[in-house]
Each structure stands twice: as structure tokens, then as C-alpha cells.
């Protein structure tokens, strides 16, 4: 099936162009015609931009969005939030996981994300025993991806310990834990799942330096081959202190010294880095997986974005805990945290350039690299197109339209095509009613 989209303005790898016809055939962009009149049968839109990859998701956590904003009896932190998250994780059935993931993925598409990196660590049954199909829950997130149309880069997680030094896992981590043999079986099953998904990709995710020993990390890097390797690192000060105590090194420095960190890698968060770590990570070619809304929600800290970008570092955006799934909101939070820290404005913009354009371009390129796909409105790339609509105060074909979307009002996602298939119309996922009914039933069951 061929779909042709006519945009009055489109953001191409060469910059803004006017009157652009984008032909999508066999799920990829076939041709881009510039200065072309719309033809009968064309889908017509105001402004077209490439879909953005969402490089870090734990889909099941969408079920607790908005439910952890009341203060506890003691000081709240990432660690008290984690107790509530474990409680939720221990109760979910496979049907719950699929229903919640479908809702999360529909919201991602509505936000302008067209691919998700699912950092998938909820593996086993509620008692901690492996399901008869070791990849039962991975199959459920893949089913949610197929139902919603979002592209899937599946990142099965290896999780073996509760802390540095190979501490045994805690009972409440029982649904996450694998040994090497079990993980090998899981990875093989995930390979089959991803093969069956249109445009599916597979990577490997050592959970964190807490959960994986040095030997296990080396083993996992071997399993990854040329595919993506994602790891949580340096999200919390307590984690930095524990790593220093256990290894004598800070987490990002330890990783750079002890693992072959290169362009295959995505270091999720990397919030707490000193100047040397920041520069070394930038030079490594790895992508920093930033999740600004979750990092703000959890009180993690602020990523040193100015120094990292100045050293040539790449980043992408993830929605992580899904407390709120928003693309402009993530990009705005990223920039605003820098402004608040530095007491400056337009921190991530190039001299004379637009902040919105700079962060959107960077998130597209970095996210695609981290999820092992191409990005951009160009022949051969996946036909992931986001149509933005709204009032334009200036010309359409200019960065001000993106700045209005990200920082102000009046611009919103209208339609989204994921690999050429229309999945969002008038800002709403085309299967939202069915998805919402299943989600509501799952949430009622989880509350009961
Ligand atoms: Zn995460």
C-alpha cells in the first residue's frame, strides 16, 4: 500500500522545505518531492516532521502514573518510589501488562514518538517462577506494539543482584531475575518475537551496575553482537557512592574503563558525572538516554547537558516511568533544567539557532542510533511521519513552529504515520476506544 502525504512545510535532513510530497511505500519513505502541488488522493497536512524514537520505556509502570504523588511518613525519594513500583510489578498479570503497555504505546504515538525502546525486565510469574513460555511477558509488550503500530526495539534485561558486590536479589525482585542460562533462553525467544514484528529490533540490557557483576556484563556484551546495549547508570547519588565504595570508581568512569563503550551503547540517565566522565562519555560515541520528566519526578538530578553537547556528545529521549508521556514536555524539561541550573537561557541552542529545533534534531538522531534504526524524512528511512497542526505566527517552514510546539501553545500533533500506517488521527490513536477499555479493566483489577 502506498500513502502519499503532502505537507505545506516539512523538516527534511537538508532543513525546512515547502510544498513537500512524501511517498511511503513498503513501510519506508520512497521519495521526497519538494515544491510540488498536492495531488488527488494525497493526505494533506500543515507541517510534517520525522517521528521521534522514545529510547527508554518500562511500559508496565504506566499503571502507576499519578499514583505516587502523595507524601509518605518518611522523606520520599527514588528509593521509596521504587517500593511502590515493586508492589505494582508483583501484582500484574500478563493481561494487565499487555493492556497497560498498549495504553502507554498509544499515548506515545499521540505524542509524536513512533518507536519505543522497551527496557523489559518484568519476566516471570508472580511467584518468581519462569512462565512455561519464558518470554510470555515480552510477547505481551510485543503484542501491544503490534496492536498500536509503534516500532519496537526490544531490550530484554538481565538482572541478577540487588546491589554491588553480587548481593543476592531481594524477594521483591523475583520477577526480574535470570541466571545466564535462563537469559540465553529468554534472548532466543525474544529474537523470534522481534522477527515476527514488522521493523522489530533486538538489543540487550544489563539492568545496572548494581544488578549485574563485571563478569556478567562482559558475557552480555558478547551476546549483544552488533546490536544495541542499554544500561541504567548514575541516576542517583546513592548509586554513585555505592559504586565508589565497591569499586573505587564512579559508575560512568567504571563503565568506560571496564566495558567496550562505543556507538552501540546507550547509557540511560548518566545524570551524575564529573567533568572528565562527561567528556569521555561524549567522545565514546555512546548515546546518553535522558528521561527529563521522570528524572524530575524522581528527584534524580540534572544531566550536564551543556558540557556534554560541547564535547560532541549524543543524546536521545526516553519516557521511562511514564508519569506523563509527552515529547514536547520532555524536551522542554531538558532545556528548562539547564536554564534553572545555569541561570541562563537557550542553553542547548547553537549560536543564533532555535532551541526547539536543536533538541528535536538531537533526540531524533540519538534516539534512532540507540534503537538501531534510521531516522528522518529521507528516502529509505522508515515512513515515520508526524503531522503538526495549529496556528502559525510566522512562516510555517521555520524553526519557530517547533519552538511554539515545545515551549508555548497553539501547535499540537494532528496525525501520525508509523511505517506508513496512519495510527493517530485528530491527535487520537485510531484504536484508542478498545485500548482504553482494556486499560480501565486492568486498572480496576489492580486496584482491587
Ligand atoms: Zn529506567
Work out the pLDDT band at 395, boundaries 50, 70, 90: confident
Range 41-64 average pLDDT: 96
With beta carbons less than 8 A apart as the criterion, state whether 334 and 319 touch: no
3-state secondary structure of 142: helix
d(C-alpha 39, C-alpha 438), whole Å: 39
| Distance (Å) from CA 293 to ligand 1 centroid | 12
| Distance (Å) from CA 138 to ligand 1 centroid | 16
| Distance (Å) from CA 58 to ligand 1 centroid | 6
CB atoms within 10 A of CB 181: 8
| Distance (Å) from CA 346 to ligand 1 centroid | 27
pLDDT, tens digit (0-9, with 9 covering 90-100), for 129-143: 999 999 999 999 999
Q: What share of the chain has pLDDT > 90, as a percent?
A: 90
| Distance (Å) from CA 79 to ligand 1 centroid | 13
pLDDT, tens digit (0-9, with 9 covering 90-100), for 339-386: 999 999 999 999 999 999 999 999 999 999 999 999 999 999 999 999
Phi, psi of 87 (to 5 degrees): -60, -45
**Would you say residue 104 has pLDDT above 80?**
yes
Nearest CA among 120, 30, 16 for reference residue 379 = 30
| Distance (Å) from CA 232 to ligand 1 centroid | 6
The x, y and z cell numbers of residue 9, run together, are 512545510
| Distance (Å) from CA 321 to ligand 1 centroid | 7
Return all residues near 410 (Cβ < 8 A) that are at least 6 apart. 390, 391, 393, 404
Work out the pLDDT band at 439, boundaries 50, 70, 90: very high
pTM, 2 dp: 0.97
pLDDT, tens digit (0-9, with 9 covering 90-100), for 55-74: 999 999 999 988 788 788 78
User: Which residues are identified as catalytic?
Assistant: 269, 320
Superfamily of domain 2-50+385-418: Urease, subunit C, domain 1 (2.30.40.10)
Range 76-102 average pLDDT: 90
With beta carbons less than 8 A apart as the criterion, state whether 259 and 221 touch: yes
Strands 2-12 and 43-50: parallel
CA angle 119, 124, 129 (to 5 degrees): 155
pLDDT, tens digit (0-9, with 9 covering 90-100), for 214-224: 999 999 999 99
Work out the pLDDT band at 392, boundaries 50, 70, 90: low
pLDDT, tens digit (0-9, with 9 covering 90-100), for 286-302: 999 999 999 999 999 99
Topology of domain 52-370 in CATH is TIM Barrel (3.20.20)
Q: What share of the chain has pLDDT > 70, as a percent?
A: 100
d(C-alpha 158, C-alpha 251), whole Å: 18
Q: pLDDT value at position 81? A: 81
The residue extents of the domains of the chain are 2-50+385-418, 52-370
Q: pLDDT value at position 393? A: 66
Amino acid at each position: 500500500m502506498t500513502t502519499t502525504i503532502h505537507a505545506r512545510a516539512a523538516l527534511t535532513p537538508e532543513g525546512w522545505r515547502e510544498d513537500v510530497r512524501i511517498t511511503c511505500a513498503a513501510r519506508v519513505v520512497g521519495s521526497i518531492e519538494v515544491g510540488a502541488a498536492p495531488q488527488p488522493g494525497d493526505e494533506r497536512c500543515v507541517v510534517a516532521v520525522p517521528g521521534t524514537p522514545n529510547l527508554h520505556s518500562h511500559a508496565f509502570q504506566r499503571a502507576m502514573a499519578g499514583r505516587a504523588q502523595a507524601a509518605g511518613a518518611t522523606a520520599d525519594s527514588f528509593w521509596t518510589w521504587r517500593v511502590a513500583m515493586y508492589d505494582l510489578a508483583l501484582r500484574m498479570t500478563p493481561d494487565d501488562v499487555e493492556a497497560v503497555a498498549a495504553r502507554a504505546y498509544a499515548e506515545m504515538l499521540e505524542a509524536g514518538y513512533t518507536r519505543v525502546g522497551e527496557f523489559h525486565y518484568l519476566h516471570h510469574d508472580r511467584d518468581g517462577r519462569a512462565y512455561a513460555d519464558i518470554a510470555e511477558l515480552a510477547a505481551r509488550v510485543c503484542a501491544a506494539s503490534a496492536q498500536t503500530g509503534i516500532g519496537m526495539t526490544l531490550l530484554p534485561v538481565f538482572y541478577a543482584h540487588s546491589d554491588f558486590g553480587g548481593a543476592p536479589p531481594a524477594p521483591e525482585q523475583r520477577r526480574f531475575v535470570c541466571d545466564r542460562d535462563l537469559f540465553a533462553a529468554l534472548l532466543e525467544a525474544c529474537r523470534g518475537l522481534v522477527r515476527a514484528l514488522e521493523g522489530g529490533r533486538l538489543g540487550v540490557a544489563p539492568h545496572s551496575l548494581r544488578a549485574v557483576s563485571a563478569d556478567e556484563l562482559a558475557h552480555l556484551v558478547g551476546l549483544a553482537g552488533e546490536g544495541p546495549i542499554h544500561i541504567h547508570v548514575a541516576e542517583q547519588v546513592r548509586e554513585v557512592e555505592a559504586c565508589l565504595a565497591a569499586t573505587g570508581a564512579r559508575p560512568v568512569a567504571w563503565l568506560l574503563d571496564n566495558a567496550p563503550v562505543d556507538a552501540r551503547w546507550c547509557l540511560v540517565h548518566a545524570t551524575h558525572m564529573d567533568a572528565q566522565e562527561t567528556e569521555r562519555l561524549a567522545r565514546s560515541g555512546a548515546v546518553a538516554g535522558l528521561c527529563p520528566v521522570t528524572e524530575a519526578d524522581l528527584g534524580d538530578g540534572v544531566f550536564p547537558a551543556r558540557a556534554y553537547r560541547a564535547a560532541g556528545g549524543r543524546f536521545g529521549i526516553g519516557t521511562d516511568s511514564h508519569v506523563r508521556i509527552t515529547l514536547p514536555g520532555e524536551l522542554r524539561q531538558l532545556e528548562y533544567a539547564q536554564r534553572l541550573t545555569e541561570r541562563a537561557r537557550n542553553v542547548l541552542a547553537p549560536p543564533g539557532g532555535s532551541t526547539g529545533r536543536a533538541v528535536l534534531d538531537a533526540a531524533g538522531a540519538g534516539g534512532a542510533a540507540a534503537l538501531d534504526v534510521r531516522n528522518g524524512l529521507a528516502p529509505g528511512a522508515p515512513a515515520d511521519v508526524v503531522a503538526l497542526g495549529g496556528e502559525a505566527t510566522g512562516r510555517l517552514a521555520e524553526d519557530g513552529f517547533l519552538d511554539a510546539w515545545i515551549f508555548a501553545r497553539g501547535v499540537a500533533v494532528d496525525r501520525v504515520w508509523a511505517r506508513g500506517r496512519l495510527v493517530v488521527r485528530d491527535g487520537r490513536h485510531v484504536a484508542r476506544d478498545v485500548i482504553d477499555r482494556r486499560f480501565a479493566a486492568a486498572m480496576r483489577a489492580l486496584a482491587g
